[in-house]
Structure 1
Amino acid sequence: MKLLIVSDSHGDRAILEQLVAQFSGQIDGWFHCGDSELPADDPLWQTFHVVGGNMDFDPQYPKKLLIPMGNQRIFLTHGHRYQIKLDLTALALAAKQEKATMVFFGHSHELGLAQNDGTLFLNPGSVSQPRGEFAKLGGTFAIVSVSGQQCQVDFHTRDGQIVSELTTTFTMGDIK
């Protein structure tokens, strides 16, 4: 199972179209963690699971989603609702309540990956307006690959190139 996670595209619809064209037929689940600044009825959302961010003012956007895929329970949200710029405590509590195995979120524009109490927490960074240590990459998204007992997270630049030094692999036994 392959999952593509993107966030904080801030009106850059072209990059989302590019990702769909580049990875079509290779991805089992598409996720946008908010701040697209596109209408909630945009045709792209027929491909992506999407939530609203603090810059998405269309009230039709859900605040959070819980998506079962394979053996995973994926919690999708925008991090501003859980104060992720402080720490992951509020988000971890919400994930635990939802019995999530994976949490995908945005907001900070900084890519990040953590594991807490058997749950994978992933912020793909901003594909259009990156910040922080990896801003020099020019925008990022992530692909999570689950195969048997292995879960691999690859961060990619806007043009789809893997940032190999950021690749992380977990044993599924570590992710409950």
Structure 2
Amino acid sequence: MKKKKILVVSDTHKIHTNFEKVLEQEKPVDFLFHAGDVEGREWEIQYGSGCPAYVVAGNNDFFGELPPEVEIQMETHKIFMTHGHHYFVSMTLDHLRREARARGADIVIFGHTHKPCLKFEKDMIIMNPGSLTYPRQENRLPSYIVLEMAEDGTVTGEIRYVEKNEKSC
């Protein structure tokens, strides 16, 4: 059974060094989702990834023409992606869950907090890939998510980290 490989990133904030490294490391990728805060470099994400790419506007994407949210049907799943700041994701995921349910989505992608999470709940998968540029979680490693989706709709996923290459003198 063929599986689709989906790369999920967010909060690159105009610095794409780690994004390029991850794209090279993970290829081939069938789809790319970027949950906002690209800051004017969305064309690199949309056209430089070599696969269909979906990008939403974050709270720092002032001048582009990115949509604030997208909804995509993929296999048996409806994916809802937003940056998350309009749903108060820094405080709670309750508003985001309610909105996703109202839209009939069972996979939700968001960013904004710069902290990765991947929750497989009873009726929904909720994920935040963290930030490839300015991580805020305890280990402070740049993070992203790789999802695999089978034709029957089975989804598996993993938070992955970009290791720091610190060289001592």
The TM-score with structure 1 as length reference comes to 0.80
Q: Which stretch shifts more, 29-38 or 11-20?
A: 11-20
Q: Percent identity?
A: 30
Name the residue aligned to 2:128.
Answer: 123
> Is residue 102 of structure 2 the alignment partner of residue 97 of structure 1?
yes
Q: Does the 8 A contact of 1:39 with 1:58 survive in 2?
A: no
Is the 8 Å Cα contact of residues 9 and 36 (structure 1) preserved in structure 2?
yes
Sort the Cα spacing of 1:134 and 1:68 in 2 relative to 1 into closer, same or farther, 3 A: farther
- 1:117, CA displacement in angstroms? 5.0
Secondary structure, aligned partner of 1:132 = coil
Q: What residue number does 2:34 align with?
A: 32
Give ranges in structure 1 of 5+ residues lacking alignment.
Answer: 160-176
How far is 1:19 from its partner?
2.7
Partner of 1:167: none
Aligned residues: 155
Write the letter of the residue equivalent to 1:3.
Answer: I
Please say if residues 14 and 41 of structure 2, whose CA atoms lie closer than 8 Å, have aligned partners that are also in contact: no
Which of the residues 5, 11, 16 maps onto 1:13?
16
SS across alignment from 2:7:
strand
SS in 2 for 1:19: helix
For structure 2, the 5+ residue unaligned runs are 164-169
1:156 to 157, 160, 163: 160
Measure, in 1, the Cα distance between the counterparts of 2:45 and 2:71: 19
The answer to whether the 8 Å contact 1:114/1:120 transfers is: yes
Q: CA contact under 8 A between 1:92 and 1:116: conserved in structure 2?
A: no
The equivalences for 1:1-176 within 5 A come to: 1-25=4-28, 27-40=29-42, 42-46=43-47, 47=49, 48-135=53-140, 138-147=141-150, 148=152, 150-158=154-162
Give the structure with the larger helix fraction: 1
**AA aligned opposite 1:75:** F
Taking structure 2 as the reference length, the TM-score comes to 0.83
